[in-house]
């Protein structure tokens, strides 16, 4: 079995020389491929970068400081990313950029590993330059070359770009007879053609995964305004795909302390969970969070050499 992961990141910006500098990761998106089939298993993490997002970067991905302020810090969710990519062949478009940011985050955590120690990194830009000589090799142009649907790509997003990269990679490499990354030339037989009517298989979803996903969607919905309130009325936050998440959009008061605002958000979330989830689902969610916290502590003990 060959396991590959298409990965992309979004960041607060980059320094003038293209390196991370003082900038941080704000989103990571991963898509799993096993034996050249997209499994439907993905990972999407939003993180609080503890610094402002540059205006130029915001124009690219549309992820605001307001949206990120209540998200976990990178070190709090890093174990999820490491567990997802470890041992895989990691497909990254312009790998130097994303790997540079991830390696900087590992260093900040005191982790004595680099991304290349966790996975075998393949730069799909270098691969595309070999397979598509004379063509621009950015994702948008590769989508045109290989007839990959990019209609939803109005803004960059890490998970969306990782999904597009997965399909572009499979399209680029689908007709190969042999491929050796150490060779200068790549031999292939014919251009890959996506079979008509093909659908990504829907993977079975456990109750635990369902409630954890719904809880994360609720957290995202709290800061997503869907309707602006009339004069004197609050705006409404929620989800674009279900009105069951509709709630008042909470806004931090000018003199309100950050802790007090977080408390209001937490109380609103608790109320919405009681509205959306059954008592049994809330029990499943509590147990999932307990297991997740225990796993995180065990992971930190392992990678940081902590002793209880």
Catalytic residues: 156
Q: By the 8 A CB rule, do 103 and 53 touch? A: no
Residue 3 to residue 244: CA distance in whole angstroms: 37
Within 8 A by CB and 6+ apart from 63, the residues are 10, 26, 27, 46, 53
Phi, psi torsion values for 149, nearest 5 degrees: -65, 120
Extract the tokens encoding 307.
Answer: 């002793």
Q: Are 297 and 289 in contact (CB under 8 A)?
A: no
Reference 8, options 124, 110, 144; nearest CA is 124
- Phi/psi of residue 178, nearest 5 degrees: -155, 150
């Amino acid at each position: 079995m060959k396991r590959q992961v298409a990965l992309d990141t979004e960041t607060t910006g980059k320094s003038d020389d293209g390196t991370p500098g003082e900038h941080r990761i704000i989103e990571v998106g991963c898509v799993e491929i096993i034996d050249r089939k997209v499994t439907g298993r993905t990972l999407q993490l939003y993180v609080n970068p503890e610094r402002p997002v540059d205006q130029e970067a915001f124009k690219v991905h549309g992820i605001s400081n307001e949206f990120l302020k209540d998200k976990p810090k990178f070190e709090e969710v890093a174990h999820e990313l490491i567990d997802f990519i470890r041992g895989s062949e990691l497909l990254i478009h312009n790998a130097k950029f994303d790997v540079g940011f991830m390696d900087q985050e590992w260093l900040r955590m005191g982790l004595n590993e680099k991304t290349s120690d966790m996975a075998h990194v393949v730069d799909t830009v270098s691969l595309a330059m070999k397979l598509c000589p004379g063509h621009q090799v950015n994702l948008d142009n590769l989508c045109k070359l290989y007839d990959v649907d990019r209609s939803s790509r109005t803004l960059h997003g890490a998970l969306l770009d990782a999904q597009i990269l997965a399909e572009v990679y499979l399209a680029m490499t689908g007709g190969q007879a042999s491929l050796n990354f150490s060779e200068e030339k790549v031999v292939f037989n014919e251009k890959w053609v996506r079979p008509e009517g093909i659908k990504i298989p829907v993977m079975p979803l456990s109750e635990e995964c369902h409630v954890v996903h719904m809880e994360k969607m609720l957290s995202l919905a709290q800061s997503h305004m869907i309707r602006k309130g009339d004069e004197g009325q609050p705006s409404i936050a929620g989800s674009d795909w279900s009105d069951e998440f509709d709630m008042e959009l909470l806004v931090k008061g000018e003199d309100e302390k950050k802790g007090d605002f977080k408390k209001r958000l937490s109380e609103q979330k608790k109320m919405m969970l009681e509205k959306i989830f059954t008592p049994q689902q809330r029990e499943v969610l509590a147990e999932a969070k307990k297991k997740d916290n225990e796993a995180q502590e065990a992971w930190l003990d392992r990678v940081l050499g902590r002793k209880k």
